[in-house]
Amino acid sequence: MFISSAFAQAAAGGDTQSTLMNMLPLVLMFVVLYFVMIRPQMRKQKEHKAMVEALAKGDEIVTAGGLLGKVSKLGETSIGVEIANGVEIQLQRTAVVQVLPKGSLK
């Protein structure tokens, strides 16, 4: 009975500085999350988009499925990839993971 009234009196004071100090760890956690996870992921997406847009006929590529091939046709959203002599497949541009240096495929 006496304890509940004491808590009610202490809570009524409400200090703004203590409220800000209580929120500081939460704000710091979001700042760290942005610099550790979100920003590097955005940079990686931007680099992948630039690589996909710069694809040219004759580039040697690796796909998300692990196929190696040479770009033979270019479209807006798809590309033709020659994976063997006379064997050509159609892929979405976004399936390209890496562009290999010239002469990597034999």
Q: Tens of pLDDT along 37-93? A: 999 999 999 999 999 999 999 999 999 999 999 999 999 999 999 999 999 999 999
Whether residue 12 is found in the same domain as residue 43: yes
Q: Is residue 16 part of a domain?
A: yes
Site of tokens 């955005």:
42
Long-range own/partner contacts, residues 21-30 (CB < 8 A, 24 or more apart) = none
Q: Is residue 63 part of a domain?
A: yes
pLDDT number for residue 9: 55
For residue 10, pLDDT over 90 is answered with: no
Domain with 45 in it: 2-50
Whether residue 29 is found in the same domain as residue 65: no
Whether residue 62 is found in the same domain as residue 41: no
pLDDT number for residue 39: 95
